[in-house]
Amino acid sequence: MIVSFKKLVFLPLCLALVRGQSIEEDILYETFPENFHWGAATSAYQVEGAWDVDGKGVSIWDTYTHDVGHGHVFQDQNGDIASDSYHKYKEDVQLAKDMGLTNYRFSIAWTRILPQGIGEKNQAGIDYYNNLIDELLANGIKPTVTLYHWDLPQALEDLGGWLSPEIADWFEEYARVCYQEFGDRVKFWITLNEPQVSAINGYEQGINAPGILDPGISPYIAGHHQIRAHARAYRLYYDEFADQKGQVGITLNIHHAQHLTESPEDVEAVERWNDFFMGWFAHPILVNGNYPQVMIDRIALRSSEQGFLQSRLPQFTSEEMEMIANTADFIGINYYTTEIIFNQIYNASDVSYNADIGVGTTKDPTWYTTGSKWFRVEPTGIRNMMNTIRRKYGDYPIYITENGMSDHLGNLDDLTRIYYYKHYINQLLKAIRWDGVNVRGYYAWCFLDNFEWGAGHSQRFGLHYVDFNDTERPRTPKASSKYLTQLYHQNGFVQNDEDPCLNMEI
Ligand code: GAL
């Protein structure tokens, strides 16, 4: 047998990866259910570029990244050009086809469609998405479309943005235009991407646009109006566009929580974490139109101790609760990692989301690191999380709308990323086959290297390498894209698979 130089170099690395991971479980060799979505995801601001082209309006991310000198973004980078998918969408679709994707998730830039957020439409922007959708369909790939992935029109921010109750009207108007223009071909809609991150990063910590630092107050208002806006867009679909026969859901983010000790306090801290993180949005939308009781009680109590005249958590009217309850056909989950959680008592005067939750978090130092400080590699969490979602919300169809890992280099032989995908997807398979959780699809994040928000280009999540130093933004498939191509094609894990580390031509 002739062993290639590449194998000689990479085999020891693969073995090292496997040996180091003490929590690794055996692979389950089985397939996924039929008609499973095998996708990859992107978002408009992160990949499109063309920030001021063809009549597009300014978004809060344009404003935020152009406000240089304040450390908003790594090296003051911006998404003006990003991966240039606005001009290179045909090439992207070809790469998606090469991977055998059944679905491609992208978001619409609100400012391309309605440059001022409401009012006059921009036909060139509408044409762009028509072209992208048509190109996908012509290549046998279904579009999965997110209406809002954090790039609010600046014109609406100037009117109060997510802190204004009127945003539910503005979002409904925007959703109507999208359903009208694209709904004949788009059958899978996600209203909002990760409202928890929009609220916390954008309004509590000020580390995402619009950069508001108002802990414990503004994030709850921004969250409140996101829930109202989501529900309005959902209801609109069934009131006026039901004949399009699509589905509408929302994408939430959650990290699986393991309790640090078996103490009742730590076990309860995990429940609180789930309720404040995911339940904040999932409970109103999937259960009863209102926040989890633990959020209502704790924020009311702490607010009164702090001298506020009313709870910092806004209240829904009874009409709103009725409007909000049961407004998702599916739950999208963006899943990345596990946290170790313990009960933590904060100072009563601390006005913040973390103090309201009352938990501390840590990570196991033995878990592999990634290119992002906020997460490490822990595969079993995704299976546990799927079970938690079913326990809390019943048998809703779940789609993993993002999952993936970052590095700094963007190397093409991205073996740790293969490791991540292999073990996370296998844990997802166990959730489906062994636990019977109703998971219907999986989208890798990200289809290509992109603009990673405050981290700029310093963190790469792509299945395809993008050279950001080249004005042409050339793309090159990484080994992970080849691995997923095979896994997607097989619809799962096949017993006689060779380990990808052994058979991959890199
Ligand atoms: C998600 C977000 C994506 C991407 C990813 C990796 O929270 O939806 O846009 O940035 O995280 O950090």
Q: Cβ(253) to ligand 1 under 6 A?
A: yes
The atom of ligand 1 lying closest to the CA of 251 is 8
Domains of the chain: 5-255+327-334+371-503 (3.20.20.80)
Confidence of residue 24 (pLDDT cuts 50, 70, 90): confident
pLDDT over 90 (residue 12): no
Could you give the CA distance from residue 336 to residue 367 in angstroms, rounded to a whole number?
A: 13
Q: Which atom of ligand 1 is nearest to the CA of 374?
A: 12
- pLDDT of 6 > 50? The answer is no
Pair of tokens at residue 37: 């979505």
29 token code pair: 């060799």
Which of 66, 236, 29 has its CA nearest to residue 154? Answer: 66
Cis before 379? omega within 30: no
Give 216 Cα–ligand 1 centroid separation in angstroms: 23
Q: Which of 200, 452, 458, 459 to mutate to test the pocket of ligand 1 (most atoms within 8 A of CB)?
A: 452
Q: What is the pLDDT of residue 500?
A: 56
Percent of the chain topping pLDDT 70:
93
- Where residue 504 falls among pLDDT bands split at 50, 70, 90? low
The answer, yes or no, to whether residue 55 has pLDDT greater than 90, is yes
407 Cβ below 6 A of ligand 1: no
Distance 264 CA to ligand 1 centre (A): 33
Greater confidence (357 vs 21) lies with: 357
In angstroms, rounded to a whole number, what is the distance separating the alpha carbons of residues 95 and 97? 5
Distances (CA, A) of 185 to 110, 133, 179: 19, 8, 9
Is residue 458 lining ligand 1, measured as CB closer than 6 Å? no
Q: Looking at residues 403-423, what average pLDDT do you find?
A: 97
R_g of the chain computed on alpha carbons? 22
Residue-wise DSSP of 120-178: S--HHHHHHHHHHHHHHHHTT-EEEEEEESS--BHHHHTTTGGGSTTHHHHHHHHHHHH
The mean of the pLDDT values for the chain is 94
pLDDT digits (tens, 9 = 90+) for 287-342: 999 999 999 999 999 999 999 999 999 999 999 999 999 999 999 999 999 999 99
17 pLDDT tier (thresholds 50, 70, 90) = very low
Q: 43, 198, 445, 450: which to mutate for ligand 1, most atoms within 8 A of CB? A: 445
Q: Is residue 387 classed as helix, strand or coil in its secondary structure?
A: helix
Q: pLDDT tens across 355-402, in order?
A: 999 999 999 999 999 999 999 999 999 999 999 999 999 999 999 999
Whose alpha carbon is nearest atom 10 of ligand 1?
452
Which one, of 202, 80, 193, 93, lies nearest residue 139 by Cα? Answer: 93
pLDDT at 18: 36
Q: What is the pLDDT of residue 267?
A: 98
Query: To test the ligand 1 pocket, which listed residue (194, 400, 463) has its Cβ within 8 A of the most ligand atoms?
Result: 194
Asked if pLDDT for residue 25 goes beyond 50, the answer is yes
Question: What is the three-class DSSP state of 208?
Answer: coil
**Binding site membership of 402 for ligand 1 (Cβ less than 6 Å):** yes
pLDDT at 498: 58
Residue of 76, 77, 82, 72 lying closest to 51 (CA atoms): 82
CB 333 within 8 A of CB 437: no
Chain centre distance of CA 74: 21
Atom of ligand 1 nearest to the CA of 43: 9
Q: Are 229 and 175 in contact (CB under 8 A)?
A: no
Residue type, 119: G
Atom of ligand 1 nearest to the CA of 194: 8
pLDDT in tens, 253-282: 999 999 999 999 999 999 999 999 999 999
Calculate mean pLDDT across residues 224-234.
99
Nearest to 445 by CA among 41, 47, 102: 41
d(CA 73, ligand 1 centre) in Å: 15
Please name which of 486, 483, 449, 488 lies closest in space to residue 469, comparing C-alpha atoms: 449
Catalytic residues: 194, 402
| 451: helix, strand or coil | coil
Average pLDDT of the segment spanning 44-62: 99
Cα–Cα distance for residue pair 11/168, rounded to 1 Å: 54
| Residue pLDDT, tens place only, 65-119 | 999 999 999 999 999 999 999 999 999 999 999 999 999 999 999 999 999 999 9
Find the mean pLDDT for residues 114-130.
98
